[in-house]
Structure 1
Amino acid sequence: MSPWVKFGCFITGWNRNILANCTEASHKALKKYTSSMLILILLWAFTGYCFADRYVGLQWWGCIIVALVFVIIVVQIERQIILTVVKNYWVVALRVLLAFIMAILGSTIIDQIIFGDDVDKEMIDIRTEEVNRIAPARQIVIQAEIDRLSFAIDSLDKVNMQLNEEIAQRPTIMTVQSVTTEVPVVQKDGSIVKEKSNSITRTPIENPRLKQVISNEKNLEYMRKLLDEYNNKKLNVAAELKKELEAKTGFLEELKALVRIMSKSSIALGFYMFMFSFLLILELLVVICKLGDKSCDYDLIVQHQLAVKEESIRDLVKRV
Protein backbone atom coordinates (compact mmCIF):
# COMPACT_ATOMS: atom_id res chain seq x y z
CA MET A 1 0.00 0.00 0.00
CA SER A 2 1.46 3.35 -1.09
CA PRO A 3 2.15 6.18 1.38
CA TRP A 4 -0.48 8.29 -0.39
CA VAL A 5 -3.15 5.66 0.24
CA LYS A 6 -2.07 5.33 3.88
CA PHE A 7 -2.26 9.11 4.25
CA GLY A 8 -5.70 9.08 2.62
CA CYS A 9 -6.92 6.42 5.04
CA PHE A 10 -5.55 8.47 7.93
CA ILE A 11 -7.37 11.71 7.11
CA THR A 12 -10.60 10.13 5.82
CA GLY A 13 -10.89 7.51 8.57
CA TRP A 14 -11.08 4.56 6.18
CA ASN A 15 -9.88 1.16 7.36
CA ARG A 16 -6.74 0.08 5.50
CA ASN A 17 -7.45 -3.60 6.05
CA ILE A 18 -10.85 -3.33 4.38
CA LEU A 19 -9.47 -1.17 1.57
CA ALA A 20 -6.76 -3.76 0.84
CA ASN A 21 -9.46 -6.19 -0.32
CA CYS A 22 -11.29 -3.61 -2.46
CA THR A 23 -11.12 -2.89 -6.17
CA GLU A 24 -9.60 0.08 -7.94
CA ALA A 25 -12.95 1.90 -7.72
CA SER A 26 -12.57 2.22 -3.95
CA HIS A 27 -8.96 3.36 -4.32
CA LYS A 28 -10.06 6.05 -6.77
CA ALA A 29 -12.83 7.16 -4.42
CA LEU A 30 -10.30 7.40 -1.60
CA LYS A 31 -7.98 9.49 -3.76
CA LYS A 32 -10.83 11.85 -4.65
CA TYR A 33 -11.78 12.28 -0.99
CA THR A 34 -8.14 12.76 -0.03
CA SER A 35 -7.58 15.38 -2.72
CA SER A 36 -10.70 17.29 -1.70
CA MET A 37 -9.77 17.19 1.97
CA LEU A 38 -6.17 18.17 1.25
CA ILE A 39 -7.40 21.29 -0.56
CA LEU A 40 -9.55 22.20 2.44
CA ILE A 41 -6.70 21.43 4.86
CA LEU A 42 -4.30 23.77 3.04
CA LEU A 43 -6.95 26.45 2.69
CA TRP A 44 -8.01 26.45 6.34
CA ALA A 45 -4.47 26.06 7.64
CA PHE A 46 -3.59 29.26 5.76
CA THR A 47 -6.78 30.96 6.98
CA GLY A 48 -6.20 29.95 10.60
CA TYR A 49 -2.56 31.03 10.56
CA CYS A 50 -3.36 34.44 9.05
CA PHE A 51 -6.28 34.97 11.44
CA ALA A 52 -4.14 34.20 14.51
CA ASP A 53 -1.28 36.35 13.24
CA ARG A 54 -3.33 39.39 12.24
CA TYR A 55 -6.10 39.52 14.84
CA VAL A 56 -5.01 37.42 17.84
CA GLY A 57 -1.41 38.65 17.74
CA LEU A 58 0.20 35.28 18.50
CA GLN A 59 3.79 34.34 17.77
CA TRP A 60 4.61 32.02 14.87
CA TRP A 61 4.31 28.86 16.97
CA GLY A 62 0.95 30.02 18.34
CA CYS A 63 -0.26 30.67 14.79
CA ILE A 64 0.79 27.14 13.81
CA ILE A 65 -1.21 25.71 16.72
CA VAL A 66 -4.30 27.67 15.65
CA ALA A 67 -3.80 26.47 12.06
CA LEU A 68 -3.64 22.85 13.30
CA VAL A 69 -6.85 23.37 15.29
CA PHE A 70 -8.58 24.66 12.15
CA VAL A 71 -7.30 21.64 10.20
CA ILE A 72 -8.50 19.16 12.85
CA ILE A 73 -11.96 20.75 12.86
CA VAL A 74 -12.20 20.59 9.05
CA VAL A 75 -11.07 16.95 8.95
CA GLN A 76 -13.62 15.93 11.58
CA ILE A 77 -16.40 17.76 9.73
CA GLU A 78 -15.61 16.07 6.40
CA ARG A 79 -15.47 12.66 8.05
CA GLN A 80 -19.13 13.07 8.99
CA ILE A 81 -19.91 12.81 5.27
CA ILE A 82 -17.23 10.35 4.17
CA LEU A 83 -17.86 7.80 6.93
CA THR A 84 -21.65 7.81 6.53
CA VAL A 85 -22.55 4.30 5.40
CA VAL A 86 -26.20 4.94 4.55
CA LYS A 87 -27.02 8.24 2.88
CA ASN A 88 -28.32 10.62 5.51
CA TYR A 89 -29.79 13.75 3.98
CA TRP A 90 -30.01 15.48 7.37
CA VAL A 91 -26.23 15.26 7.64
CA VAL A 92 -25.91 16.51 4.07
CA ALA A 93 -28.23 19.45 4.77
CA LEU A 94 -26.27 20.40 7.88
CA ARG A 95 -23.01 20.10 5.92
CA VAL A 96 -24.36 22.41 3.20
CA LEU A 97 -25.40 24.95 5.84
CA LEU A 98 -22.01 24.66 7.52
CA ALA A 99 -20.29 25.03 4.15
CA PHE A 100 -22.22 28.25 3.57
CA ILE A 101 -21.12 29.62 6.96
CA MET A 102 -17.51 28.50 6.50
CA ALA A 103 -17.41 30.05 3.03
CA ILE A 104 -18.57 33.39 4.44
CA LEU A 105 -16.01 33.23 7.24
CA GLY A 106 -13.17 32.11 4.98
CA SER A 107 -13.87 34.60 2.20
CA THR A 108 -14.13 37.41 4.76
CA ILE A 109 -10.78 36.61 6.38
CA ILE A 110 -9.01 36.08 3.06
CA ASP A 111 -10.49 39.23 1.51
CA GLN A 112 -9.40 41.28 4.51
CA ILE A 113 -5.87 40.01 3.90
CA ILE A 114 -6.00 40.55 0.12
CA PHE A 115 -7.55 44.01 0.49
CA GLY A 116 -5.15 44.84 3.33
CA ASP A 117 -3.98 48.18 1.92
CA ASP A 118 -7.51 49.25 1.00
CA VAL A 119 -8.76 48.24 4.44
CA ASP A 120 -5.98 50.28 6.09
CA LYS A 121 -6.99 53.34 4.07
CA GLU A 122 -10.63 52.89 4.99
CA MET A 123 -9.66 52.39 8.63
CA ILE A 124 -8.18 55.91 8.65
CA ASP A 125 -11.60 57.35 7.81
CA ILE A 126 -13.34 55.10 10.32
CA ARG A 127 -10.93 56.07 13.10
CA THR A 128 -11.33 59.75 12.26
CA GLU A 129 -15.09 59.34 12.62
CA GLU A 130 -14.59 57.50 15.92
CA VAL A 131 -12.32 60.27 17.19
CA ASN A 132 -14.87 62.94 16.24
CA ARG A 133 -17.58 60.94 18.02
CA ILE A 134 -15.71 60.08 21.24
CA ALA A 135 -13.46 63.15 21.68
CA PRO A 136 -16.22 65.62 22.74
CA ALA A 137 -17.36 63.32 25.55
CA ARG A 138 -13.80 62.98 26.84
CA GLN A 139 -13.28 66.73 26.62
CA ILE A 140 -16.40 67.27 28.75
CA VAL A 141 -15.02 64.94 31.45
CA ILE A 142 -11.61 66.63 31.35
CA GLN A 143 -13.19 70.11 31.43
CA ALA A 144 -15.15 69.12 34.53
CA GLU A 145 -11.89 68.19 36.26
CA ILE A 146 -10.31 71.46 35.10
CA ASP A 147 -13.23 73.46 36.52
CA ARG A 148 -13.06 71.57 39.81
CA LEU A 149 -9.31 72.16 40.16
CA SER A 150 -9.61 75.83 39.15
CA PHE A 151 -12.28 76.39 41.79
CA ALA A 152 -10.17 74.65 44.45
CA ILE A 153 -7.09 76.70 43.49
CA ASP A 154 -9.02 79.99 43.59
CA SER A 155 -10.53 79.13 46.98
CA LEU A 156 -7.19 78.18 48.48
CA ASP A 157 -5.60 81.31 47.00
CA LYS A 158 -8.17 83.48 48.75
CA VAL A 159 -7.54 81.68 52.04
CA ASN A 160 -3.80 82.25 51.66
CA MET A 161 -4.32 85.94 50.89
CA GLN A 162 -6.31 86.38 54.10
CA LEU A 163 -3.69 84.48 56.07
CA ASN A 164 -0.86 86.57 54.59
CA GLU A 165 -2.70 89.78 55.51
CA GLU A 166 -3.08 88.50 59.05
CA ILE A 167 0.60 87.55 59.19
CA ALA A 168 1.62 90.98 57.86
CA GLN A 169 -0.31 92.63 60.66
CA ARG A 170 0.95 90.25 63.32
CA PRO A 171 4.22 88.59 62.20
CA THR A 172 4.78 87.43 65.77
CA ILE A 173 2.57 86.72 68.71
CA MET A 174 3.38 86.91 72.40
CA THR A 175 3.19 83.83 74.54
CA VAL A 176 2.63 84.34 78.25
CA GLN A 177 4.11 81.88 80.68
CA SER A 178 3.34 82.10 84.40
CA VAL A 179 5.66 80.42 86.92
CA THR A 180 4.78 80.04 90.60
CA THR A 181 7.62 79.62 93.09
CA GLU A 182 7.79 79.44 96.90
CA VAL A 183 10.03 82.05 98.49
CA PRO A 184 11.07 81.80 102.19
CA VAL A 185 10.14 84.96 104.16
CA VAL A 186 11.43 85.71 107.68
CA GLN A 187 8.68 86.86 110.01
CA LYS A 188 9.03 89.37 112.88
CA ASP A 189 9.16 86.62 115.42
CA GLY A 190 12.08 85.09 113.52
CA SER A 191 10.14 82.23 111.99
CA ILE A 192 10.45 81.44 108.30
CA VAL A 193 7.34 81.11 106.20
CA LYS A 194 7.28 80.11 102.52
CA GLU A 195 5.18 82.41 100.41
CA LYS A 196 4.17 81.85 96.79
CA SER A 197 5.52 84.21 94.16
CA ASN A 198 4.23 84.38 90.57
CA SER A 199 6.51 85.43 87.71
CA ILE A 200 5.18 86.11 84.24
CA THR A 201 7.38 85.68 81.15
CA ARG A 202 6.36 87.10 77.76
CA THR A 203 8.07 85.53 74.69
CA PRO A 204 7.49 86.58 71.05
CA ILE A 205 7.10 83.61 68.62
CA GLU A 206 6.44 83.24 64.87
CA ASN A 207 2.80 83.47 63.87
CA PRO A 208 1.59 79.82 63.53
CA ARG A 209 -0.47 80.87 60.51
CA LEU A 210 2.79 80.90 58.55
CA LYS A 211 3.04 77.09 58.65
CA GLN A 212 -0.50 76.84 57.33
CA VAL A 213 0.41 79.19 54.47
CA ILE A 214 3.45 77.03 53.57
CA SER A 215 1.30 73.87 53.58
CA ASN A 216 -1.30 75.58 51.40
CA GLU A 217 1.40 76.69 48.96
CA LYS A 218 2.53 73.08 48.52
CA ASN A 219 -1.05 72.01 47.84
CA LEU A 220 -1.44 74.87 45.36
CA GLU A 221 1.74 73.84 43.56
CA TYR A 222 0.48 70.25 43.25
CA MET A 223 -2.97 71.33 42.03
CA ARG A 224 -1.51 73.76 39.47
CA LYS A 225 0.71 70.99 38.12
CA LEU A 226 -2.31 68.71 37.90
CA LEU A 227 -4.26 71.50 36.19
CA ASP A 228 -1.53 71.86 33.55
CA GLU A 229 -1.69 68.11 32.90
CA TYR A 230 -5.45 68.24 32.38
CA ASN A 231 -5.10 71.24 30.07
CA ASN A 232 -2.54 69.32 28.01
CA LYS A 233 -4.85 66.30 27.94
CA LYS A 234 -7.68 68.47 26.68
CA LEU A 235 -5.49 69.89 23.91
CA ASN A 236 -4.18 66.45 22.89
CA VAL A 237 -7.35 64.41 23.44
CA ALA A 238 -7.87 63.82 19.71
CA ALA A 239 -4.26 62.72 19.14
CA GLU A 240 -4.27 60.44 22.20
CA LEU A 241 -7.59 58.91 21.21
CA LYS A 242 -6.36 58.24 17.69
CA LYS A 243 -3.23 56.59 19.11
CA GLU A 244 -5.40 54.36 21.32
CA LEU A 245 -7.56 53.31 18.39
CA GLU A 246 -4.51 52.56 16.25
CA ALA A 247 -2.80 50.54 19.00
CA LYS A 248 -4.87 47.42 18.25
CA THR A 249 -6.86 46.61 15.14
CA GLY A 250 -9.88 44.40 15.76
CA PHE A 251 -11.46 41.87 13.42
CA LEU A 252 -14.84 43.60 13.55
CA GLU A 253 -13.23 46.97 12.77
CA GLU A 254 -11.63 45.60 9.62
CA LEU A 255 -14.85 43.77 8.76
CA LYS A 256 -16.69 47.09 8.97
CA ALA A 257 -14.05 48.65 6.71
CA LEU A 258 -14.39 45.76 4.24
CA VAL A 259 -18.19 46.17 4.12
CA ARG A 260 -17.76 49.89 3.43
CA ILE A 261 -15.28 49.14 0.64
CA MET A 262 -17.70 46.69 -0.98
CA SER A 263 -20.59 49.15 -0.65
CA LYS A 264 -18.53 51.78 -2.48
CA SER A 265 -16.92 49.55 -5.13
CA SER A 266 -18.77 47.05 -7.31
CA ILE A 267 -15.40 45.51 -8.25
CA ALA A 268 -14.64 44.74 -4.61
CA LEU A 269 -18.13 43.28 -4.14
CA GLY A 270 -17.77 41.17 -7.27
CA PHE A 271 -14.40 39.82 -6.11
CA TYR A 272 -15.86 38.97 -2.69
CA MET A 273 -18.73 37.06 -4.32
CA PHE A 274 -16.23 35.25 -6.54
CA MET A 275 -14.14 34.26 -3.51
CA PHE A 276 -17.27 33.22 -1.59
CA SER A 277 -18.50 31.05 -4.47
CA PHE A 278 -15.05 29.51 -4.88
CA LEU A 279 -14.83 28.58 -1.20
CA LEU A 280 -18.42 27.32 -1.13
CA ILE A 281 -17.70 24.96 -4.02
CA LEU A 282 -14.52 23.74 -2.32
CA GLU A 283 -16.44 23.15 0.91
CA LEU A 284 -19.03 21.07 -0.96
CA LEU A 285 -16.51 18.99 -2.94
CA VAL A 286 -16.68 16.03 -0.58
CA VAL A 287 -20.50 16.20 -0.41
CA ILE A 288 -20.73 16.31 -4.20
CA CYS A 289 -18.33 13.39 -4.54
CA LYS A 290 -20.24 11.37 -1.94
CA LEU A 291 -23.69 12.01 -3.41
CA GLY A 292 -22.70 12.00 -7.07
CA ASP A 293 -20.93 8.64 -7.16
CA LYS A 294 -22.42 5.23 -6.70
CA SER A 295 -21.44 3.30 -3.61
CA CYS A 296 -18.00 1.75 -4.11
CA ASP A 297 -17.17 -1.74 -2.92
CA TYR A 298 -15.63 -0.29 0.27
CA ASP A 299 -19.04 1.10 1.22
CA LEU A 300 -20.69 -2.15 0.15
CA ILE A 301 -18.34 -4.18 2.35
CA VAL A 302 -19.05 -1.92 5.33
CA GLN A 303 -22.80 -2.14 4.66
CA HIS A 304 -22.51 -5.93 4.33
CA GLN A 305 -20.62 -6.17 7.62
CA LEU A 306 -23.29 -4.04 9.25
CA ALA A 307 -26.09 -6.19 7.81
CA VAL A 308 -24.37 -9.42 8.92
CA LYS A 309 -23.84 -8.02 12.41
CA GLU A 310 -27.49 -6.92 12.64
CA GLU A 311 -28.66 -10.36 11.49
CA SER A 312 -26.46 -12.13 14.03
CA ILE A 313 -27.75 -9.89 16.82
CA ARG A 314 -31.36 -10.63 15.80
CA ASP A 315 -30.66 -14.38 15.84
CA LEU A 316 -29.03 -14.03 19.25
CA VAL A 317 -32.03 -12.14 20.60
CA LYS A 318 -34.43 -14.79 19.25
CA ARG A 319 -32.45 -17.58 20.93
CA VAL A 320 -32.53 -15.75 24.24
Structure 2
Amino acid sequence: MSNYALLMVRPSRFGFNAETAVNNAFQVAGDQSNVQEKALQEFDHFVQALRDNHIDVLVVQDTEEPHTPDSIFPNNWISFHKNSTIVLYPMFAENRRLERKESIMDAIRSRYNIDNTIDLTKNEAQDIFLEGTGSIILDRKQKIAYANISPRTDKNLFKEFCEEMGYEPVIFEAKDEHGKDIYHTNVMMCVGDRYAVICLDCIPEAQREGVREALENSGKTIITISYDQMNHFAGNMLQVENTAGEKFLVMSTQAYESLSPEQVSAIENFNPIIHVPLYTIEQNGGGSARCMMAEILLPKK
Protein backbone atom coordinates (compact mmCIF):
# COMPACT_ATOMS: atom_id res chain seq x y z
CA MET A 1 0.00 0.00 0.00
CA SER A 2 1.64 3.24 -1.15
CA ASN A 3 1.73 6.17 1.30
CA TYR A 4 1.50 8.72 -1.51
CA ALA A 5 -1.13 11.38 -2.09
CA LEU A 6 -1.70 14.64 -3.90
CA LEU A 7 -2.95 17.92 -2.46
CA MET A 8 -5.20 19.82 -4.87
CA VAL A 9 -6.95 23.11 -4.06
CA ARG A 10 -10.40 23.54 -5.60
CA PRO A 11 -10.68 27.16 -6.74
CA SER A 12 -13.40 29.53 -5.60
CA ARG A 13 -12.46 32.66 -7.58
CA PHE A 14 -10.00 31.51 -10.25
CA GLY A 15 -8.95 34.03 -12.89
CA PHE A 16 -6.18 35.86 -14.72
CA ASN A 17 -3.67 37.27 -12.20
CA ALA A 18 -2.05 40.50 -13.43
CA GLU A 19 0.56 40.32 -10.62
CA THR A 20 2.02 37.06 -11.93
CA ALA A 21 1.62 37.90 -15.64
CA VAL A 22 4.56 40.33 -15.50
CA ASN A 23 7.03 37.43 -15.78
CA ASN A 24 4.89 34.46 -16.82
CA ALA A 25 4.88 34.38 -20.62
CA PHE A 26 2.47 31.41 -20.56
CA GLN A 27 -0.36 33.54 -19.18
CA VAL A 28 -2.83 35.17 -21.55
CA ALA A 29 -5.84 37.21 -20.46
CA GLY A 30 -8.49 35.12 -22.19
CA ASP A 31 -12.17 35.68 -22.79
CA GLN A 32 -13.13 36.31 -19.18
CA SER A 33 -16.69 34.95 -19.34
CA ASN A 34 -17.33 31.90 -17.11
CA VAL A 35 -13.63 31.47 -16.33
CA GLN A 36 -14.26 30.27 -12.76
CA GLU A 37 -17.05 27.94 -13.88
CA LYS A 38 -14.93 26.42 -16.68
CA ALA A 39 -11.91 26.10 -14.38
CA LEU A 40 -14.06 24.26 -11.82
CA GLN A 41 -15.25 21.80 -14.46
CA GLU A 42 -11.66 21.17 -15.57
CA PHE A 43 -10.52 20.81 -11.96
CA ASP A 44 -13.26 18.33 -10.98
CA HIS A 45 -12.72 16.28 -14.12
CA PHE A 46 -8.97 16.18 -13.37
CA VAL A 47 -9.53 14.96 -9.79
CA GLN A 48 -11.94 12.29 -11.04
CA ALA A 49 -9.42 11.06 -13.65
CA LEU A 50 -6.78 10.68 -10.92
CA ARG A 51 -9.16 8.90 -8.55
CA ASP A 52 -10.33 6.59 -11.35
CA ASN A 53 -6.72 5.39 -11.46
CA HIS A 54 -6.72 4.87 -7.65
CA ILE A 55 -4.53 7.90 -6.93
CA ASP A 56 -5.20 9.34 -3.47
CA VAL A 57 -6.17 13.03 -3.80
CA LEU A 58 -6.80 15.34 -0.86
CA VAL A 59 -9.03 18.12 -2.23
CA VAL A 60 -9.35 21.29 -0.16
CA GLN A 61 -11.93 23.89 -1.19
CA ASP A 62 -10.43 27.37 -1.42
CA THR A 63 -12.11 30.17 0.53
CA GLU A 64 -13.75 33.18 -1.15
CA GLU A 65 -11.68 35.57 0.98
CA PRO A 66 -8.95 36.59 0.79
CA HIS A 67 -9.19 36.49 -3.01
CA THR A 68 -6.49 34.15 -4.35
CA PRO A 69 -6.86 33.77 -8.15
CA ASP A 70 -3.96 31.26 -8.36
CA SER A 71 -4.86 29.03 -5.39
CA ILE A 72 -5.30 26.16 -7.87
CA PHE A 73 -1.44 25.95 -8.00
CA PRO A 74 -0.47 24.93 -4.41
CA ASN A 75 2.86 23.37 -5.45
CA ASN A 76 4.47 26.85 -5.41
CA TRP A 77 4.03 27.62 -1.73
CA ILE A 78 4.40 24.26 0.03
CA SER A 79 6.22 20.94 -0.37
CA PHE A 80 5.93 17.76 1.69
CA HIS A 81 8.71 15.33 2.55
CA LYS A 82 8.97 11.79 3.88
CA ASN A 83 10.71 12.80 7.11
CA SER A 84 7.49 14.51 8.38
CA THR A 85 8.83 17.84 7.10
CA ILE A 86 7.03 20.58 5.21
CA VAL A 87 8.70 23.55 3.51
CA LEU A 88 6.95 26.92 3.05
CA TYR A 89 8.28 29.06 0.20
CA PRO A 90 8.63 32.81 -0.54
CA MET A 91 6.36 33.89 -3.40
CA PHE A 92 6.97 36.62 -5.99
CA ALA A 93 3.38 37.94 -6.29
CA GLU A 94 2.00 39.54 -3.14
CA ASN A 95 -1.50 38.21 -3.73
CA ARG A 96 -0.11 34.66 -4.02
CA ARG A 97 1.31 34.86 -0.49
CA LEU A 98 -2.30 34.85 0.72
CA GLU A 99 -2.64 31.25 -0.55
CA ARG A 100 -0.97 29.97 2.61
CA LYS A 101 -4.32 29.57 4.33
CA GLU A 102 -4.94 27.97 7.71
CA SER A 103 -7.89 26.02 6.27
CA ILE A 104 -5.50 24.16 3.95
CA MET A 105 -2.96 23.55 6.74
CA ASP A 106 -5.76 22.23 9.00
CA ALA A 107 -6.90 19.77 6.31
CA ILE A 108 -3.34 18.47 5.98
CA ARG A 109 -2.71 18.29 9.74
CA SER A 110 -5.94 16.36 10.26
CA ARG A 111 -4.62 13.54 8.05
CA TYR A 112 -0.84 13.67 8.35
CA ASN A 113 1.95 14.03 10.88
CA ILE A 114 4.09 17.15 10.53
CA ASP A 115 7.07 17.25 12.92
CA ASN A 116 9.18 19.89 11.23
CA THR A 117 8.41 23.10 9.29
CA ILE A 118 11.11 24.87 7.30
CA ASP A 119 9.77 28.38 6.74
CA LEU A 120 11.57 30.32 4.00
CA THR A 121 8.82 32.95 3.65
CA LYS A 122 10.76 35.64 5.57
CA ASN A 123 12.84 36.05 2.37
CA GLU A 124 9.87 37.82 0.76
CA ALA A 125 10.80 40.95 2.71
CA GLN A 126 14.13 41.04 0.79
CA ASP A 127 12.47 40.23 -2.58
CA ILE A 128 14.16 36.82 -2.61
CA PHE A 129 11.95 34.09 -4.02
CA LEU A 130 11.90 30.32 -4.42
CA GLU A 131 8.54 29.04 -5.58
CA GLY A 132 8.40 25.46 -4.38
CA THR A 133 8.31 22.65 -6.90
CA GLY A 134 7.66 25.24 -9.60
CA SER A 135 11.22 26.51 -9.04
CA ILE A 136 12.74 23.20 -7.95
CA ILE A 137 12.47 19.84 -9.69
CA LEU A 138 13.14 17.15 -7.09
CA ASP A 139 14.60 13.77 -7.92
CA ARG A 140 13.59 12.51 -4.50
CA LYS A 141 15.09 9.05 -4.91
CA GLN A 142 18.54 10.22 -6.05
CA LYS A 143 18.41 13.35 -3.85
CA ILE A 144 19.20 15.68 -6.76
CA ALA A 145 17.42 19.04 -7.17
CA TYR A 146 17.29 20.95 -10.47
CA ALA A 147 16.64 24.69 -10.68
CA ASN A 148 16.48 27.23 -13.47
CA ILE A 149 17.46 30.62 -12.04
CA SER A 150 14.86 33.33 -12.74
CA PRO A 151 13.20 36.27 -10.95
CA ARG A 152 11.19 33.64 -9.05
CA THR A 153 14.08 31.28 -8.28
CA ASP A 154 16.96 32.67 -6.24
CA LYS A 155 20.26 30.83 -6.64
CA ASN A 156 21.52 31.24 -3.08
CA LEU A 157 18.21 30.35 -1.49
CA PHE A 158 18.03 27.27 -3.70
CA LYS A 159 21.50 26.22 -2.50
CA GLU A 160 20.37 26.82 1.10
CA PHE A 161 17.32 24.61 0.51
CA CYS A 162 19.52 21.84 -0.92
CA GLU A 163 21.91 21.98 2.03
CA GLU A 164 19.07 21.86 4.55
CA MET A 165 17.25 19.01 2.76
CA GLY A 166 20.31 16.98 1.74
CA TYR A 167 19.97 17.43 -2.04
CA GLU A 168 22.69 17.84 -4.65
CA PRO A 169 21.96 21.11 -6.56
CA VAL A 170 22.02 21.30 -10.37
CA ILE A 171 21.77 24.96 -11.40
CA PHE A 172 21.24 26.44 -14.85
CA GLU A 173 19.60 29.35 -16.66
CA ALA A 174 16.85 28.60 -19.17
CA LYS A 175 15.44 31.03 -21.73
CA ASP A 176 12.50 30.75 -24.11
CA GLU A 177 12.92 31.11 -27.88
CA HIS A 178 12.71 34.91 -27.51
CA GLY A 179 15.57 34.97 -24.99
CA LYS A 180 13.29 35.66 -22.02
CA ASP A 181 13.76 33.94 -18.64
CA ILE A 182 11.60 30.87 -18.20
CA TYR A 183 9.75 31.73 -15.01
CA HIS A 184 9.51 28.22 -13.52
CA THR A 185 11.71 25.17 -13.98
CA ASN A 186 8.67 22.88 -14.06
CA VAL A 187 7.43 24.24 -17.38
CA MET A 188 10.56 23.03 -19.17
CA MET A 189 11.43 19.78 -17.38
CA CYS A 190 9.96 16.84 -15.51
CA VAL A 191 11.96 14.12 -13.76
CA GLY A 192 10.48 10.65 -13.28
CA ASP A 193 12.02 7.61 -11.59
CA ARG A 194 13.76 6.30 -14.73
CA TYR A 195 13.36 9.08 -17.29
CA ALA A 196 13.25 12.85 -17.72
CA VAL A 197 11.27 14.99 -20.15
CA ILE A 198 13.17 18.21 -20.85
CA CYS A 199 13.54 21.08 -23.31
CA LEU A 200 17.36 21.06 -23.56
CA ASP A 201 17.26 23.79 -26.24
CA CYS A 202 16.30 26.28 -23.49
CA ILE A 203 19.57 25.77 -21.67
CA PRO A 204 22.69 27.63 -22.88
CA GLU A 205 25.22 25.27 -24.46
CA ALA A 206 27.79 25.90 -21.72
CA GLN A 207 25.37 24.53 -19.10
CA ARG A 208 23.48 21.97 -21.19
CA GLU A 209 26.02 19.17 -20.88
CA GLY A 210 26.10 19.49 -17.09
CA VAL A 211 22.34 19.04 -16.89
CA ARG A 212 22.39 16.15 -19.36
CA GLU A 213 25.19 14.48 -17.39
CA ALA A 214 23.38 14.86 -14.06
CA LEU A 215 20.29 13.21 -15.57
CA GLU A 216 22.17 10.41 -17.32
CA ASN A 217 24.45 9.68 -14.34
CA SER A 218 21.37 9.28 -12.16
CA GLY A 219 20.05 6.60 -14.53
CA LYS A 220 17.53 8.66 -16.48
CA THR A 221 16.56 8.14 -20.11
CA ILE A 222 16.24 11.65 -21.60
CA ILE A 223 13.16 12.42 -23.70
CA THR A 224 13.69 15.85 -25.28
CA ILE A 225 10.91 18.27 -26.18
CA SER A 226 11.01 21.35 -28.44
CA TYR A 227 10.29 24.99 -27.60
CA ASP A 228 6.93 24.60 -29.30
CA GLN A 229 6.03 21.54 -27.22
CA MET A 230 7.15 23.34 -24.05
CA ASN A 231 4.85 26.25 -25.01
CA HIS A 232 2.02 23.68 -25.06
CA PHE A 233 2.95 22.67 -21.47
CA ALA A 234 4.71 19.43 -22.45
CA GLY A 235 7.34 20.06 -19.75
CA ASN A 236 4.69 20.55 -17.08
CA MET A 237 4.15 16.93 -16.15
CA LEU A 238 4.39 14.90 -12.95
CA GLN A 239 4.99 11.23 -12.38
CA VAL A 240 2.57 10.10 -9.67
CA GLU A 241 1.85 6.87 -7.83
CA ASN A 242 -1.45 5.19 -6.96
CA THR A 243 -2.40 3.26 -3.83
CA ALA A 244 -1.04 0.04 -5.36
CA GLY A 245 2.33 1.69 -6.04
CA GLU A 246 1.76 1.87 -9.83
CA LYS A 247 3.21 4.92 -11.56
CA PHE A 248 1.60 7.24 -14.14
CA LEU A 249 2.74 10.37 -15.95
CA VAL A 250 0.13 13.12 -15.59
CA MET A 251 -0.19 15.99 -18.07
CA SER A 252 -2.80 18.11 -19.83
CA THR A 253 -4.44 17.11 -23.10
CA GLN A 254 -2.79 20.12 -24.76
CA ALA A 255 0.62 18.77 -23.67
CA TYR A 256 -0.26 15.23 -24.74
CA GLU A 257 -1.43 16.31 -28.19
CA SER A 258 1.80 18.26 -28.78
CA LEU A 259 3.89 15.07 -28.36
CA SER A 260 4.94 12.93 -31.30
CA PRO A 261 3.91 9.23 -31.40
CA GLU A 262 7.58 8.39 -30.71
CA GLN A 263 7.67 10.54 -27.58
CA VAL A 264 4.37 9.07 -26.34
CA SER A 265 5.67 5.57 -26.86
CA ALA A 266 9.00 6.42 -25.14
CA ILE A 267 7.03 7.58 -22.06
CA GLU A 268 4.64 4.62 -22.18
CA ASN A 269 7.63 2.25 -22.10
CA PHE A 270 7.97 3.39 -18.50
CA ASN A 271 4.39 4.06 -17.37
CA PRO A 272 0.88 4.84 -18.64
CA ILE A 273 -0.11 8.48 -19.32
CA ILE A 274 -3.11 10.25 -17.80
CA HIS A 275 -4.11 13.45 -19.62
CA VAL A 276 -7.04 15.82 -19.09
CA PRO A 277 -8.16 19.04 -20.84
CA LEU A 278 -7.08 22.12 -18.85
CA TYR A 279 -7.35 24.83 -21.53
CA THR A 280 -9.04 27.49 -19.36
CA ILE A 281 -6.66 26.98 -16.45
CA GLU A 282 -3.61 26.97 -18.74
CA GLN A 283 -4.58 30.10 -20.62
CA ASN A 284 -5.61 32.27 -17.68
CA GLY A 285 -3.31 30.83 -15.02
CA GLY A 286 -0.21 30.17 -17.12
CA GLY A 287 0.26 26.83 -15.38
CA SER A 288 -0.82 23.30 -16.20
CA ALA A 289 -1.25 19.83 -14.69
CA ARG A 290 2.01 19.70 -12.74
CA CYS A 291 1.38 23.05 -11.04
CA MET A 292 -1.99 21.84 -9.72
CA MET A 293 -0.58 18.92 -7.73
CA ALA A 294 1.49 19.06 -4.55
CA GLU A 295 2.85 15.61 -3.69
CA ILE A 296 2.18 14.54 -0.10
CA LEU A 297 4.77 12.09 1.25
CA LEU A 298 4.08 12.69 4.93
CA PRO A 299 3.31 9.76 7.27
CA LYS A 300 -0.42 9.35 7.82
CA LYS A 301 -1.90 9.71 11.30
What band does the TM-score fall into relative to the shorter chain? Answer: under 0.3
Give the strand-richer structure, 1 or 2: 2
TM-score for the superposition, normalised by structure 2 = 0.22
Give the structure with the higher percent helix: 1
Which structure has the greater CA radius of gyration?
Answer: 1
